[in-house]
Structure 1
Amino acid sequence: MDCAEDDCERPAVVELHIPWAENRLVCAAHARVLGRQEGVVADPRPDGSDDLLG
């Protein structure tokens, strides 16, 4: 599965739990940025780690 962010084709490896919106599956790069917002919880997907190997 690809990252939920627009124009990003990286594999989704983190689920972001966002209090004011629906949860999103995103790549590690977007998780680092979006996970810094107050109230957002980044939850690594154990089944997403294989996506990194290609």
Structure 2
Amino acid sequence: MTRCAEDDCGNEAAVELHIPWDANREVCPNHARVWAQKDGVVPAPMDGHEDEWP
């Protein structure tokens, strides 16, 4: 199980963020929703977590 890359978050990562200006990150769905609103960020569900991300 991979933990969310965001500081102080203990949730399981379910989404990989492709961030053009930084390294890709694996985050929980809650943090992915916030990041996905930023211009250029592309969220992709991780294998086995497709049902957790629309």
User: TM-score, with normalisation over the residues of structure 1?
Assistant: 0.85
Structure 1 alignment gaps of length 5 or more: none
Structure 2 alignment gaps of length 5 or more: none
Aligned residue number for residue 12 of structure 1: 13
Fraction of identical pairs, as percent:
53
Higher relative helix content: 1
Aligned residues: 49
| Aligned residue type for 2:27 | V
Following TM superposition, the consecutive aligned residue runs of length 4 or more in structure 1 with deviations greater than 3 angstroms are none
